[in-house]
Chains A and B, each alone.
Chain A
Amino acid sequence: MRYVVYVIIIGAIIGVTFGLFASWGWNGLVPDLILLMVIALSLVFEGLDYLFVSLLGGFWLDIVYGLPIGSFTIPLLFCGAVSSLLLRKWLFSEVKWYHFVGAIIAATILLKFWIWLYSNMLFAFHWYAVPVSGGQIMRNLIWAIIANVVLAYPVYVIVEMFARSQLRWQKNKIKL
């Protein structure tokens, strides 16, 4: 059931991002909501939910952005795994919201840098037609970070509420 909810949420996030920010977006002031969701899930949930969301969400984003598969998927998988291992298991026993914000800033930089590197690498091998411009990425990077940081906390809270509702649901599961 949880995974069906994730699929619906990913579809809705992509719909909202492309419906709202394609006409409203200014200088790349567009949040990476899937990235925020992946990192929040990696910090809140014990399981591998973040891997499912990063794989499906990343794959979907690659296609709707017209980018080669792996442009979003690989950094999302990597960021989810790293934030889960470093923040939740190894470095901090208790994750505060500002750890989440720090992870968001690092992940945003990594995501944009990877898109530039990956598209240029595939372009060099004639696997992709137009490489993403580094200048364009740098120009919009600060706005992307601002958009992600502003929405980091609300996304974290929503994911935490979802996790709590899941726990409650598990506890009160009707046994037939």
Chain B
Amino acid sequence: MIRFIYSRTFLAFAIALVIVLLGLVMQVKGWLQPIEYALLQAPRPVSNIVRSVAEPVRVFFTTIGSLRSVVRENATLQAQVVSLQQQQVQLDKLRTDNDLLREELKFKGQSKLTLESCSVLSIDPQELSDTMVLSCGKEQGIQEGQAVLSQGYLVAKVTYVGSYTSTALLISNAQSSIDARLSKNNTEGVVKGSFGSGMVFDLVSQNADVNAGDLVVTAGINSRIPKDILIGQVGNVLSNPNDLFKKMSVTSPVRQRAVEFVYVVKQ
């Protein structure tokens, strides 16, 4: 054992450990940001090439595997388009009336979200930390707790901000919880992540009127996440009628692990 302590291997191992500890301290202090940014950017050309080849292959095999459900889904979507077109006409009429009334009553206009566009430098492929590293940080005005959107849907929440990069936790992670409500009747609950890239709408009153397909949006209780940001659609009921609260699955059309660009809501 004593002979081992004086060996070259042990010395190299000890030096490496000291370097790691120094690196950790520097990372916590934020002094590693330029190196982190360079290391995040370096493998991107390779990963972009690989992704551009792998993604069409994945889509091809997924489509073949689910051809029957695609046909069924297509029919449902066509029916939805017709129904939504009718709703759009009604909404246009309501919007015109609403604008006129606001003008009459001198109501303050709707506040608009201030968005910062960021590219996704990396997403944890092993589902360990379920985080994504974004190309914007304090320099761009990003703060911890802010919402990260993709295609208008909430996909993550910023958990760590460096000078040039920030880390966001995917909302499908088991440790994520977002205050939410149903857009149709303001039924409140909490959207939590669950193992296996899913989400659940939990802590909903048993008497609440919730149906599959209802839209779930942010409730706005958290000051950093504005209300009415889309989270997903209600899926199956997961709880029993005897349970204290109702619990339902929530599905989002956004493939969180495939996003390349996102918006951070700065308010």
Which residues of A line the B interface, CB within 8 A? Answer: 11-12, 14-25, 27-28, 30, 32, 48, 51, 54-55, 58-60, 63-70, 73-74, 77, 81, 84-85, 112, 115, 119, 127-133, 135-137, 139-140, 144
Contacts A/B (CB < 8 Å), 12 sampled: A11-B43, A21-B126, A24-B54, A63-B35, A63-B40, A64-B121, A65-B131, A66-B122, A66-B133, A84-B9, A129-B160, A136-B128
B184: chain A residues within 8 A (beta carbon):
none
12 more CB-based (< 8 A) A-B contacts, given A25-B125, A30-B126: A15-B49, A18-B47, A18-B122, A20-B51, A22-B123, A55-B16, A59-B23, A63-B36, A66-B132, A68-B24, A130-B169, A132-B129
Could you say which of B20, B54, B129 contacts A130, with CB atoms under 8 Å apart?
A: B129
Chain B residue numbers with a CB within 8 Å of A21 are: 125-126
User: Chain A nearest CB: distance from B30 CB in Å?
Assistant: 12
CB distance from B16 to the nearest CB of A (A): 5
Question: With A and B bound together, what is the CA distance between A59 and B27 in angstroms?
Answer: 11
B: contact size bracket = 35 or more
> How far apart are A99's CB and chain B's nearest CB, in angstroms?
19
Closest to A116 in B: B128
Contacts of B129 in A (CB 8 A): 65-67, 119, 130, 132
Bound together, the chains give a CA A17 to CA B43 distance in angstroms of 10
Q: Known: A20-B51, A68-B24. Contact between A48 and B36, CB under 8 A?
A: no
B46 touches A12 (CB 8 A): yes
Q: Which residues of B are in contact with A by a Cβ distance under 8 Å?
A: 4, 8-9, 12-13, 16-17, 19-21, 23-24, 26-28, 32, 35-36, 39-40, 42-51, 54-55, 58, 121-133, 144, 159-160, 167, 169, 173-175, 195-196, 255, 257-258
A69 & B42 in contact (Cβ 8 Å cutoff): no
**Contact of B12 with A51 in the complex, beta carbons under 8 Å:** yes
Smallest beta-carbon distance B183→chain A, Å: 28
| A44 vs chain B, min Cβ distance (A) | 16
Residues of A within 8 A of B50 (CB): 15-16, 19-20
Residue in B13, B35, B49, B196 whose CB lies within 8 Å of A77? B13
| In the bound complex, CA of A135 to CA of B194 (Å) | 10
Partner of B173, one of A12, A24, A129, A133: A133
Residues in A neighbouring B160, C-beta threshold 8 A:
66, 128-129
A79 to chain B, nearest CB (A): 12
Contact B9 A85 (CB under 8 A): yes
| Given A63-B36, A81-B9: A18 touches B128 (CB 8 Å cut-off) | no
A84 to B4: give the CA distance in the assembly, Å.
13
Taking CB atoms, residues of chain A closer than 8 Å to B19 are 55
Residues of B within 8 A of A137 (CB): 128
Question: B20 to A20, Cβ gap below 8 A?
Answer: no
CB <8 Å contact, B123 and A18: yes
Q: Is the CB of A129 within 8 A of B46?
A: no
A54 (CB) vs chain B CBs: closest residue: B16
Smallest CB gap from A67: residue in B: B129
> In the complex the two chains form, is B46's CB within 8 Å of A65's CB?
no
Q: Check A69 against B43 for contact (C-beta < 8 Å).
A: no
Contact yes or no, B132 A135, CB < 8 A? no
Residues of B with C-beta under 8 A to A54: 16
A64 contacts which chain B residues (CB < 8 A)? 39-40, 43, 121-122, 133
Which residues on A sit within 8 Å (CB–CB) of B43? 11-12, 14-15, 18, 64
Contacts of A24 in B (CB 8 A): 54, 58
A129 touches which of B24, B39, B144 (Cβ 8 Å):
B144
Contacts of B132 in A (CB 8 A): 66
Residue among A16, A70, A135 making CB contact with B46, cutoff 8 Å: A16
Q: Which residues of B contact A131 (CB under 8 A)?
A: 175
Shortest beta-carbon distance from A136 to chain B in Å: 6
A58 to chain B, nearest CB (A): 8
The reply to whether B144 and A48 contact each other, CB–CB distance below 8 Å, is no
Whole-angstrom distance from the CB of A45 to the nearest CB of chain B? 12
Q: Which residue of A lies closest to B161 (CB)?
A: A129
